[in-house]
Structure 1
């Protein structure tokens, strides 16, 4: 994917060259890191003779939407286990409607049961109900996903000092870490609270040239406020680049705040990975409307 330079006065004044790798443009419906994570998982499912994929996610999950379309495109039946029984029967959720329109069967589980989704007993219950399936973890992260994310960085990216990426389940950042040049560092911007991510990343990462900057989650996963909405809208107006409110919006906000506070010493060249997720804007605007906050444009 191509790298788009961000031309803003604050960057120039600090000797910073910021580029965004437009992974959101990789596919119209399976965009960004979801395309990378699903690539080798779907290839493995085919190799093993599966015709059904089962995965997990929340009501506005980018992963649910991407898996539904990728399965539809490649001839798989798909099943999505959705967190929250109260969502059953809802017909105003754009992500779930998209998934259903591309053949995904949705099943809803309560939040307590959902926490046991990776247990052998729960998976056995699901197999008894749905038959044989290939499991793709929540968020898509496993060894096959990391392998796909190792392909994000290309030869043209070798001269960047920092690679920045939003972090959800740890798969994308792990792939980036594994494909770094010796003089590069990855900065991860977690979209949710908690220290568990470091141990998840260490399961896959092959070096220690990475750091998590955990003060830009805005209160937790999918949390958003007026300040973040206004930043995302202004950034799109100034650069033409849309950001999603769960991941890339928070990452870019964090990068710009770090620039303003002198974290990066110029001259410096930064590559930020746009991991997609724009499908979630419609659903987030429903939330913002209920909260009487400005909408994402």
Structure 2
């Protein structure tokens, strides 16, 4: 949570429970004209054949370019903290696996979509325990460390580093507009006819297995409070495996992804000026980062 690009990027994407982009503010349609895909055409392999990519992603820094910005921020923050008498300990909870973050967001929202994952983890994302454990292990800092790093006055070393890189008022104003654009797109995605249809198919499948849930998110919420790093009990394991099997048999996740892609692609077209501004700001931040590392 200490990295402002990551915070700005992920935080805006998470303002509603269904915001699902890879690294969310780096980045996630034409009009929805399709109907629910017959389940007979969907195989287990098709459910998770490739990482989902949001149409919003092209307007934000990703991969190596994002890594360059992170390196520049780290250098600036480290120098600032040293000048205040602290040894910068870095961000304990970060993840370098940008390619899988979109699918991890889907799993966190909708639950598992394959039975092997469901059997092993239930409704806990496989990476959650590791991240929480790392954060807990580094939760103790010297007196004054956190205030020097980041504070409500926006004078911390992270604030200073981000300002130097280009995360100023214009960026955060654009992010506010982006949050609204994305939330509206995601609401349209979930309201699409094919999503309602596949939800009904999933519900019928679960009913045949003895469950009365109408939406996979009900089960995600039911088991959300299990302590990270602990194993699912039998009831959670059985529910997760039934849920995953019904997702596969109905093509649930494929249809959810398609609907998000369509709604978000249209949102980009409808808000092209804002998205182009974000892309230009991102390019400026990247250029500033390269200058800091030169």
Length-normalised TM-score, structure 2: 0.28
Larger strand share, 1 or 2: 1
Larger radius of gyration: 2
More relative contact order, 1 or 2 (CA 8 Å, 6+ apart): 2
Larger helix share, 1 or 2: 2
